[in-house]
Structure 1
Amino acid sequence: MTALPRPDLSDIHPGDWVDRRLPPAWRPYTRLARLDRPVGIWLTLFPCWAALIQASHGVPDLRQLTIFSLGALLMRSAGSTINDIADRKFDGHVERTRFRPLASGQIGTPYAFAFLAVELALAGCLLFFLTPYTRLIAVCLLPLVFVYPLCKRFTHWPQAILGAAFNWGMLMAWAEIAGHIPVGAVLMWAGAIAWQIGYDTVYAYVDVKDDKRLGLKSTAILFGRNGKTFIGLFYALTAGAWSLGGWLSGMSLPYAFGMLVIAAHLAWQTWRLDLHRPEVNFRLFLANILTGVLLACAAFIGTW
């Protein structure tokens, strides 16, 4: 009998709230949208909220906060659906992902495409509440969303493409509130990309053996035994870019204190990283939800 993957590393947790509370027909789509694994949603939301706070130089408008939060939720879910469609033939051979709905045959590809169309349509409806300039910036995100799932086939840097897409809402926030995207905002976005390269490389080390066997590429495979050094370097770039970007965005002195806390947290993650212990790496990946919280808090106190 085939052993189930370790619960702390598996994408799917049998008996969770999806299995207990949702009708069977809804379950595959809930998992396809990653609503059962909201870590990615939080990692998308907190940088976006931080940008909204910085651009507003205070508490953002509730309407804007709602629109951007829904947009982050829908686009992250749509991106996950696209990823599962593109990787459906690979996921079945990876221990962590082999029970995903498409890989395990719970739903067919046509149904996944139909679900994706609904997700994109709902996200598109939000554009009507944004300025024309912000709509243009939003449309520019779509190529990244569709290209990312294919990147692992031809480049070791899919994490960079994912970081650009995941944090695109930061640029949109400035476009919507300020009417332009200043240098400080671009630096904050670049810092978020470096952050995502760091934490998603940590995550990629969980799958590195399966990826090598399947001929896929990632920064974890590229960095190899030097992963700890490179992850630390990208985390350092994150702290530096966010510090300079915040200063250029008009953040006050308390923001610097927030950056010190973030730098210390990222340094702790790097120190704890163990390339040979996937369960440790997975927990460190999850610890970046706190990094996002700290960034949003730093942005808030930086407006004082």
Structure 2
Amino acid sequence: MSSITPPSTQPSRWSLYLDLIRWNRPAGWLLLLWPSLSALWAAAGGWPGWHLLTVFVLGTILMRSAGCCVNDVADRDFDRHVKRTAQRPVTSGAVSVKEALALGAALALLAFGLVLTTNAVTIAWSFAALAVTLIYPYAKRYVSMPQAVLGVAFSFGIPMAFAAVSGGHGFSLSAVLGAVPPLAWALLIGNLFWVLAYDTEYAMVDRDDDLKIGMKTSAITLGRFDVVAITAFYLLYLLIWTVLLIDRLHPWVWGATLLVAVAQVVWHHRLIRDRTREGCFRAFRLNHWLGFTVFAGVVLGLI
């Protein structure tokens, strides 16, 4: 009787790379995309044009994917002790550190190629954005609220959007700084509170594991005040963006936007108040709808 060799169940390199960059979990790059596009519309006072829209959409996807590669390499020794991340490609050894870094570098170079089609000041600010992206994975070892560092990284598309719309040229310090108005930095601060909210929800999922391995997160730092703090972060985000943009947007449109946004904040509070892994993870994954709501409010409010 002849034996039949069972088909291989080993995933292909392609599928491993897609898993590494979280291709099947688009919520991550959507969290980056919506504030960047909101800023793009606000900076342009309306439709920014197909060129900048393409640059920021594709650039966001590429840089988030590159960030995943760097993050998984940096956290590989920690992730093996966390239930949710133990089987990630780098952590499990299915993808080597060199492969992951090479893929991340290739994706970052593609994103940089897109930035090269904009202007000099946007190119200059892209280096600052890259630096923050590389710093974040290591902040979790030393900073009690590393989500704040992530907040800067995930909000850097805002000043870059203003720089891209400004059409500024030259690499002088005055040209680079002058291309980004105070409004952009204020919007970044407001968006930082949103990142603090949703990434603390994310950190609550792994809090037990993180305590065991000594990882620093906002969920651990905030302790029993985590749910209250998250709700406050959401409301501060909406309040700051309202104060900054209300004079630019149709008040009725923005008012309706706030009603929908606040309703989502209430829903998030219900999901996380019992601090269950399932509820907190679901709340995190739903955050891109809040970002989309604000983006839609900015777009429609500028018409």
Same fold (TM over 0.5): yes
Shift of 1:196: 0.6
Q: Which AA in structure 2 matches 1:141?
A: A
2:265, 2:181 → 1: CA distance?
26
Aligned pairs (5 A) from 1:170-181: 170-179=158-167, 180-181=179-180
Aligned pairs (5 A) from 1:160-199: 160-179=148-167, 180-199=179-198
Q: Which AA in structure 2 matches 1:293?
A: F
1:212 aligns with 2:211: yes
Q: Which AA in structure 1 matches 2:16?
A: P
Shift of 1:135: 0.9
Aligned-residue sequence identity (percent) comes to 36
Q: Which residue of 2 aligns with 1:231?
A: 230
- After the TM superposition, which of the residue ranges 257-266 and 227-236 deviates more from structure 2? 257-266
Q: Could you say which structure has the larger radius of gyration?
A: 2
Q: Which AA in structure 2 matches 1:181?
A: V
Moved over 3 A (4+): none
CA displacement 1:276-297 (0-9 Å, x = unmatched)? 3110111111111110110111
Aligned pairs (5 A) from 1:65-214: 65-179=53-167, 180-214=179-213
1:286 aligns with 2:285: yes
1:245, 1:171 → 2: CA distance?
15
Q: Which residue of 1 aligns with 2:249?
A: 251
Which one of the candidate residues 17, 20, 40 is aligned to 1:32?
20
Are the equivalent residues in 1 in contact too, given 2:271–2:282 (CA < 8 A)?
no
1:266, 1:36 → 2: CA distance?
25
Distance 1:23 1:130, change over 3 A: farther
2:101, 2:282 → 1: CA distance?
32
1:88, 1:264 → 2: CA distance?
38
CA displacement 1:65-121 (0-9 Å, x = unmatched)? 001111101111111111000001111111000010011110111111211221121
Shift of 1:31: 1.3
Are the equivalent residues in 1 in contact too, given 2:148–2:192 (CA < 8 A)?
yes
Alignment root-mean-square deviation, CA:
1.8
CA displacement 1:139-166 (0-9 Å, x = unmatched)? 1112211110011111121111111111
1:57, 1:106 → 2: CA distance?
47
Q: Which AA in structure 1 matches 2:149?
A: I
Partner of 2:89, secondary structure, is coil
Are the equivalent residues in 2 in contact too, given 1:225–1:275 (CA < 8 A)?
no
Distance 1:275 1:161, change over 3 A: farther
1:172, 1:117 → 2: CA distance?
20
Q: Which residue of 2 aligns with 1:55?
A: 43
Are the equivalent residues in 2 in contact too, given 1:53–1:59 (CA < 8 A)?
yes
Q: Which residue of 1 aligns with 2:3?
A: none
Partner of 2:92, secondary structure, is coil
Which ranges in structure 1 are unaligned for 5 or more consecutive residues?
A: 1-19
Are the equivalent residues in 2 in contact too, given 1:47–1:296 (CA < 8 A)?
yes
Which one of the candidate residues 39, 45, 52 is aligned to 2:33?
45
1:53, 1:280 → 2: CA distance?
33
Q: Which AA in structure 2 matches 1:252?
A: H
Q: Which residue of 2 aligns with 1:295?
A: 294
Q: Give the alignment's TM-score, normalised by structure 2.
A: 0.89
Partner of 2:255, secondary structure, is helix
Are the equivalent residues in 2 in contact too, given 1:174–1:181 (CA < 8 A)?
yes
CA displacement 1:193-221 (0-9 Å, x = unmatched)? 10010011011100000000000010000
CA displacement 1:234-279 (0-9 Å, x = unmatched)? 111101111012136x222122331332133223312432343110
Are the equivalent residues in 2 in contact too, given 1:163–1:194 (CA < 8 A)?
yes
Which ranges in structure 2 are unaligned for 5 or more consecutive residues?
A: 1-8, 168-178
Are the equivalent residues in 1 in contact too, given 2:202–2:280 (CA < 8 A)?
yes
Distance 1:184 1:252, change over 3 A: farther
CA displacement 1:41-78 (0-9 Å, x = unmatched)? 11111111111111222222011100111110111111
